[in-house]
Amino acid sequence: MPMVGFGTYKLKESDKGVVSSALRAGYRLVDTAHVYAGGKMEGVVGKAIKNREVFVTTKHWRGFHGYDATRQCLAQSLGRLGVDAVDLYLMHWPGPGYSAMARSKNRSIESYFKKGHEDMASLRLETWRAMEDAYLSGKCRAIGVSNFTCDHLRKLLAWPDLRVRPTVNQIELHPYLQQRDLVFLCEKENVKLQAYASLGGQDSSAKDWAALGMPPLLDHPAVLAAAEAHGATPAAVLLRWALQHGYAIIPKSRSPDRIAHNAAALDRFDLSDAEMAALDALDLGGMNGRLTWRRDELRALDFE
């Protein structure tokens, strides 16, 4: 799996040329998901990668947990992408699908669970069993997980019927949210870490930053100082931080110039030990620095 890929989260169906721009800039991994752009992004990616040698990742969506539903979800993804197999298939979310996305503070979160998703710990294993079968039948060249906590990962690895271990855990990772216990566990279990929201995510507003008592990550003085020292952009500094920790990355942009710059800038400099230490010191602890999934009551991932 390439260490640097191109992410497609929050791109729209109308952004058809963006993925092609990334491939022309040298990206050789494209990350997408069944749910992106209301189910349209896989089709956009499929057209862009046609007749190209590209590593393709897509993700199972939480509304399709369970054995048969997972097989259906993957079949839809393969059809949209126009391929017989994907290089990496991830379980996007360890928790339940919702029966409704517009939620009220006056109702319990359990009241929104999709019917049949009440016992997620067991249902998640049925999802994984379907993913194993897809891998063993050649529809996925590797399988992994996303947004798994230490508890979720330990339960999967301890499953007596486990046949195929996850190769990747794609999680939110950046200086404000470093998830050190999870990083340690993944490294110990030889599960590759792939970081998303490396630049601080797109789900946070000025109100959210104010509540954190921190500036947007791209504007933090430690990031700006390193950028100035290397003649680089703040984005390049944050991507270097991730790569120097050994995390694969999937940055995204709609701008062809930024896409090309991100691809070209990453090998031009290394952060010093002091610069890495300054960025490492920004961790807000636990899940306090989580900047994505802002509208989701389960965003802290503190469920079985």
Binding residues for substrate: 92
Cβ-Cβ contacts under 8 Å for 88 (sequence gap 6 or more)? 1, 55, 56, 57, 58, 140, 141, 142, 143, 144, 167, 168
DSSP 74-90: HHHHHHHHT-S-BSEEE
Between β-strands 248-249 and 192-196, what pairing exists: parallel, antiparallel or unpaired? parallel
CB 180 within 8 A of CB 155: no
CA distance 265 to 260: 8
Shortest CA distance to 137 belongs to which of 163, 102, 161? 163
Which entry of 36, 176, 196, 247 is annotated as an active-site residue? 36
36 catalytic, yes or no? yes
**Could you list the active site residues?**
36
